Amino acid sequence: MKTDLNYEKNGGFVIAIAQNYRTREVLMVAHANQEAIDKSAELGLATFWSKSRNKLWTKGLTSGDTLRIVETRADCDRDAVLFLVEPQGSGGACHKTGWFSCFGYKL
């Protein structure tokens, strides 16, 4: 997908945020390289680059809790994308807690 994203600014990555397109809840945030953005477009599922595992990571591909992309937006600096998604499966976006959102901790 030709996207004109600026990967260089942040070491080959853009920040990729997933937001529930209906509830508008911010579900998670991770990094994406060109390969992840391409795979997201190809599958229609939010796909990131896992820096810790150093591999492509389509959220929920094993658990079934994928995030179907309804719309993708870029920010004004072109170094971040916002996936507006419809959670599939049980809807638990957070693989650690099973909650809908990873942002469950109040500071």
Beta carbon of residue 12, minimum distance to a second copy (angstroms, whole number): 13
Residues near 90 by beta carbon (within 8 Å), at least 6 away in sequence: 64, 65, 98
Contact 46, 18 (CB under 8 A): yes
Backbone phi, psi, residue 94, to 5°: -90, 115
Judged by CB under 8 A, which stretch of 42-50, 57-65, 91-99 contacts a second copy?
91-99
Q: How far apart are CA 31 and CA 56, in angstroms?
A: 10
Q: Binding residue for a second copy (CB under 8 A) from 45, 46, 67, 80?
A: 80
HSE-CB of 8 using CA atoms within 13 angstroms: 1
Q: Binding residue for a second copy (CB under 8 A) from 7, 26, 34, 70?
A: 26
Question: What mask of x and - would describe binding to a second copy in positions 45 to 64, judged by CB under 8 A?
Answer: -------x------------
Contact positions vs a second copy (CB under 8 A) = 1, 3, 9, 15, 17, 19, 23-26, 28-29, 52, 71-78, 80-82, 94, 96-97, 102-107
